[in-house]
């Protein structure tokens, strides 16, 4: 019997991500994969998954999932409003809900489920690549996400000691990407040479 999660709400953007498609640039295929690799990998470790198991990447919160079966889950990355344990594995009972409100700090939250999300592989990855149109479509309300079978024993851990992000000035490294030609040289210089308040 396949375990599954039903998507009730997604917020602005929720996608399936894994370690991506590295090494395929010669075929004009970007890496894709989780934006915050450390948080994504931590979520998988907390539930005993392989480091490249597919998980949900939730942008700006707003996710509501209903477990169709009992399963172990973990959330990492941006800490979202709600009573859900963060950076810790916990069991979501059958019929139980996982609700992620807006994050208090940060942008992306990762939801890993023990066994990983079992979506189709496309060019060796389960990641959504919005720019190239590869992988599964962004998650939508009503979607039923199949959960794979666990491959490893669950870890014996209560919580991961992860420090909250520091506040203050942050330097962001910007590299030209596949749409650099959309900018004039002057516009590019303005983009990378300006300080921003967020």
Condensed to tens digits (0 to 9), the pLDDT of residues 12-62 reads 999 999 999 988 888 888 889 999 999 999 999 999 999 999 999 999 999
Separation CA 19–CA 49 (nearest Å): 13
Mean pLDDT to the nearest integer, 125-135? 93
pLDDT of res. 127: 97
pLDDT of 169: 79
In angstroms, what CA-CA distances link 81 with 86, 93, 103, 108, 111?
Answer: 10, 20, 6, 13, 14
Closest CA to 4 of 77, 86, 95: 95
Mean pLDDT of 175-183: 89
Q: Is the pLDDT of residue 83 over 70?
A: no
Greater model confidence, 105 or 66:
66
Say whether 37 sits in a helix, a strand or coil.
helix
Q: 24 or 129: whose pLDDT is higher?
A: 129
**Helices in the chain by DSSP H: which ranges?**
37-46, 185-193
Alpha-carbon distance of 1 to 27, in angstroms, equals 38
Most confident of the following: 53-57, 79-83, 161-165: 53-57
């Amino acid at each position: 019997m396949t375990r599954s999660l039903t998507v009730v709400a997604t917020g602005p953007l929720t996608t399936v991500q894994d370690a991506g498609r590295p090494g395929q640039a010669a075929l004009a295929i970007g890496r894709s994969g989780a934006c915050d690799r450390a948080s994504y990998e931590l979520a998988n470790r907390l539930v005993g998954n392989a480091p490249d198991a597919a998980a949900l990447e939730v942008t700006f919160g707003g996710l509501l999932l209903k477990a169709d079966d009992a399963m172990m889950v973990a959330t990492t990355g941006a800490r979202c409003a709600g009573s859900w344990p963060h950076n810790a594995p916990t069991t979501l009972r059958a019929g139980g809900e996982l609700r992620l409100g807006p994050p208090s700090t940060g942008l992306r939250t990762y939801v890993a489920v023990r066994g990983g999300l079992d979506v189709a592989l496309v060019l060796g990855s389960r990641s959504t690549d919005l720019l190239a149109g590869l992988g599964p479509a962004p998650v939508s309300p009503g979607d039923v996400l199949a959960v794979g079978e666990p491959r490893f024993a669950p870890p014996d851990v209560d919580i991961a000691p992860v420090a909250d992000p520091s506040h203050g000035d942050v330097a962001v490294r910007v590299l030209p990407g596949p749409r650099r030609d959309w900018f004039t040289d002057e516009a590019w210089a303005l983009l990378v040479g300006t300080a921003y308040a967020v």
